[in-house]
Amino acid sequence: MAEMHKYGLSNQPPDIPQILQEAQNRWLRPTEICQILSNYKKFSIAPEPPNRPPSGSLFLFDRKILRYFRKDGHIWRKKKDGKTVKEAHEKLKVGSVDVLHCYYAHGEENENFQRRTYWLLEE
């Protein structure tokens, strides 16, 4: 429970099935992402990246084990060098505290298609 307070989350247990359902239709809020990442043991960790996952998909990876989790078969917009995927990097807050890294990339064929990658900031 101390983990929940660390991210400014309530004492109420998160409604993970509801959060996952809503993730199919909208971007999750930083508090919801923190709830998922703080409760990662309730999920299956993907052993490899999916091939061309559809919009609204949500996967958990151990990025220390699965190095190339971004290789998902989609074509992402590249930097000017034409090789590297162009990713924006942001820190997201819960309350007034930075708690999450967020990297996102836009699709090459459809710029409204995005991949967002989150992980908790180290203390």
User: For 37-51, what is each residue's pLDDT tens digit?
Assistant: 999 998 899 999 999
Average confidence score pLDDT of the chain: 90
R_g over Cα of the chain: 15
Largest separation between any pair of C-alpha atoms in the chain: 47
Give CA–CA dist 85/106, Å, rounded.
9
**pLDDT band, very low/low/confident/very high, at 76 (cuts 50, 70, 90):** very high
Q: Where are the domains of the chain?
A: 16-46+59-120
pLDDT above 70: percentage of residues in the chain: 90
**pLDDT band, very low/low/confident/very high, at 1 (cuts 50, 70, 90):** very low
Query: pLDDT value at position 53?
Result: 95
pLDDT in tens, 51-71: 999 999 999 999 899 999 999
Give CA–CA dist 105/12, Å, rounded.
33
Give CA–CA dist 1/77, Å, rounded.
40
